[in-house]
Amino acid sequence: MSTTTAPHHRPRALARATAAALLGLGLLLGGAVATAPTASAAPAAVVTAAPVLAGPLAGALTGALTGPVAPTPPTDPSVQAVPGVTVDVNGVDGKPSSTVTLILAITVLAVAPAVLLMMTAFTKIIVVLSITRNALGLASAPPNQVLAGLALFLTLFIMGPVISEVNETAVQPFLDGSITQAQAFETGAEPVREFMLGQTRPEDLALISRAADQPNPSTRDETPLLTLVPAFVLSELRAAFIIGFVIFVPFLVIDVVVSGSLMAMGMMMLPPVTVSLPFKLLLFVLVDGWGLIITALVGSYS
């Protein structure tokens, strides 16, 4: 018998050889994988996946893994929080905020005319200057703006020590945040009160107290501002009229002399005021009338 394989047996032998080769290759690969360091592969996967999970997708994945969140229980409709308003006067450093400072400045400007007229020397000064102009027989010279400006600066000159004390004891400490608004008002009103008490007659204080159906204060220092301010204005008007009377008398004498002279000369149609005006102006300039009036006004507050 011949040992040569028949042709129809060759495909089976080839298939068995291929299967044996594939099996051997699989065993080799399996051994290589089994002997490889598997511990270092896991951290790489974790490190690679960590940035992905740290992003916005991490929250979604975590929520999906932990499950839905329980809903918030309903609140009682009868119990409602009462809204409140908190006004912080001072700023972060304890000083008044810029808004509060601006509001106070606007308020001071709004009440400044009343304070200027009622609590300072402005009333007496402007009245005396107006009487002087009328005594000279001048209707509009000096004009009202000039008289008001002169009275204003004389008031600042006379009230300078009082204003400085109010600024040092009340305004600056309040702006620094060391005292409150109420303390600043009480401290600042004290120098003004002392100034007005020094210029107010006791008779005027008693008059205003009786008009208000209030008992007379036991001491002058206990007089409230609502009683002191009108009494101070009455005293200032009385003093201004006394000074005005002293100013008016010399010019009245000139008017009488000029009027009598014109009557004696038969010049009845010539107004005496027109003739006496140059003589009154000459007398006022020769005696330095403005200097005498300013000196008398300033000296009345010394």
Residue 110: its pLDDT value, please?
Answer: 74
Residue 124: its pLDDT value, please?
Answer: 92
Residue 113: its pLDDT value, please?
Answer: 75
Residue 78: its pLDDT value, please?
Answer: 59
- What distance separates the 2 farthest-apart alpha carbons in the chain? 194
Encode the chain (302 residues) as per-residue pLDDT tens digits.
444 444 555 556 666 766 666 666 655 555 544 454 444 444 444 444 444 444 444 454 455 445 566 777 776 665 555 555 555 555 555 566 677 677 777 877 777 677 767 888 899 999 999 999 988 888 788 888 999 999 999 998 998 889 899 888 888 888 887 888 788 888 888 888 888 888 888 888 888 888 888 888 777 777 888 888 889 999 999 999 999 999 989 888 888 888 888 888 887 777 878 888 888 888 889 988 899 999 989 888 87
DSSP assignment string, 186-221? HHHHHHHHHHHHHH--HHHHHHHHHHTT-PPPSSGG
Residue 53: its pLDDT value, please?
Answer: 41
Residue 40: its pLDDT value, please?
Answer: 43
- Crossing angle between the packed helical segments 289-299 and 144-158, to the nearest 10 degrees: 40
Provide, for the chain, the percentages of residues in helix, strand and coil under a 3-state DSSP scheme, each rounded to the nearest 5.
Answer: 75, 0, 25
C-alpha–C-alpha distance, residues 208 and 118, integer Å: 15
Give the global pTM: 0.61
DSSP symbol at 222: G
Q: Work out the angle at residue 258's Cα, subtended by the Cα atoms of residues 252 and 260, and round it to the nearest 5 degrees.
A: 100
In 217-269, alpha helices (H): 225-264
